[in-house]
Amino acid sequence: MKTAVIVTTYNRPDALAAVLAGFFEQTVLDFELLVADDGSREDTRALVLEHAARAPIALRHVWQEDLGFRAAAARNRAVAQTQAPYLIFVDGDCVPGRAFVEQHRALACPGCFLAGNRVLLSETFTRRVLGERLPLQRWRIARWLSAWAARDVNCLLPLLTLPDGAWRERAPRRWHGVKTCNLSLWRADFMRVNGFDESFVGWGLEDSDLVTRLIRAGVRHKNARFAAPVFHLWHRENDRSRLAENQKLLEGIRAADHIEARVGMNRHA
């Protein structure tokens, strides 16, 4: 199944390098990788070009001007650069496990989007991971147990792997808690709702809006926990000065009945 992985980033090339390394070591390598860059400096472009020269997969850099936090627009712009029928969204500070892409594709089914979870790394451990270039994607449970005992990570349960089954679709209309740091869906469903709503500017809730409209369009939530975790590198809290405005925007959308983003993929067609 032709797949595109969309990785968002903004001025954090050390974390992005760790994420790219994780994708270069996937158990399957028949996918393309697009870096959705929300206006990073030239060092990020140089990093992506350097990695693309030796990547085992197709890697592209899709940049937009830095006009503040516009992750929704960056993701839409990247999707417009691929025709892959299946899309996986990840953040540029989330290192995937080696079977991440394989598991998302194995769990994919018509009429569903998948939402996975994450393991949070501590500030100290994140510095060590990036400074020593530790290959988290290769770690086995014994090393994670050691990291958990040292309080370097917040939990271990996401590392358990459970088979597919009806239990994964027990909450088909659940939207709360779904995050685009670990989300996949069919391109046709994404286009049907006109992608991310670029009205969401500043940190927060553009993912909740997307999922709300997907569910309204009849796309079901399928749980990808215990299958495809990511390892979330620590970072300082993002500027949340626009969160109240985004919350008000989301409340209005949830009270409405439309499924298409007001400002979405149609801008990039």
Longest dimension (CA), the chain: 50
Structure tokens at 190: 């994404």
Q: What pLDDT shows up at residue 172? A: 95
CA-nearest of 181, 118, 120, 127 to 154 is: 120
- What distance in Å separates the CA atoms of residue 238 and residue 240, rounded to the nearest whole number? 6
**H-assigned helices in the chain:** 13-24, 42-52, 71-79, 100-107, 123-132, 141-149, 187-192, 206-216, 243-255
Q: What pLDDT shows up at residue 11? A: 97
The domains found in the chain, sorted by start residue, are: 3-267 (3.90.550.10)
Residues of the chain with pLDDT under 70: 203-204, 238-243
Q: What pLDDT shows up at residue 63? A: 98
Pairing relation of β-strands 31-37 and 220-223? Answer: unpaired
- What distance in Å separates the CA atoms of residue 200 and residue 218, rounded to the nearest whole number? 23
- What distance in Å separates the CA atoms of residue 125 and residue 127, rounded to the nearest whole number? 5
Q: Which amino acid is at 36?
A: A
80 φ, ψ (degrees, to nearest 5): -65, -15
Residue 258 neighbours by CB under 8 Å, 6+ apart: 213, 216
**HSE-up of residue 243 (Cα within 13 Å, Cβ side):** 7
CA-nearest of 185, 225, 211 to 105 is: 185
Give, in order, the Cα–Cα distances in Å from 142 to each of 156, 159, 226: 11, 11, 17
